[in-house]
Amino acid sequence: MTEIISLILGAVLPPFIDFLTKSMDNSKIRFLISLGVCVLAGGVINFNSFNGQDILASIALVFGSAQIVYKTYWKESNFRAEANRGQD
């Protein structure tokens, strides 16, 4: 069940991450912020499980699905914040 939640959450995170990184010019800092958000989301999904393997799997699924959705849809979307367009 946590795998499905991780994939869905990763799919809806790109707009939130885009909002958080709106004022960042450095792509490395933006990457670290998106990674941090995904690590936090993966940890929250497994808040009742202290199994390291489950937590890492959720983090990987959230991050992977967020990156896929970002690259295939959100990067060129008209809904993307104007300040973040062309920074990739």
Instruction: With cut-offs at 50, 70 and 90, classify the pLDDT of residue 65.
Output: very high
- What local confidence, expressed as pLDDT, does residue 15 receive? 87
Asked whether residue 88 carries a pLDDT value surpassing 60, the answer given is no
Asked whether residue 81 carries a pLDDT value surpassing 70, the answer given is no
DSSP the chain: -HHHHHHHHHHHHHHHHHHHTTT---HHHHHHHHHHHHHHHHHHHTTT---HHHHHHHHHHHHHHHHHHHHHTGGG-TTS-GGGTT--
- pLDDT digits 0-9 by tens, 6-59: 899 999 998 888 888 878 888 899 899 999 999 999 999 888 887 889 889 999
- Residue for token digits 């799997």? 57
Rounded Cα gap, residues 48 and 32, in angstroms? 26
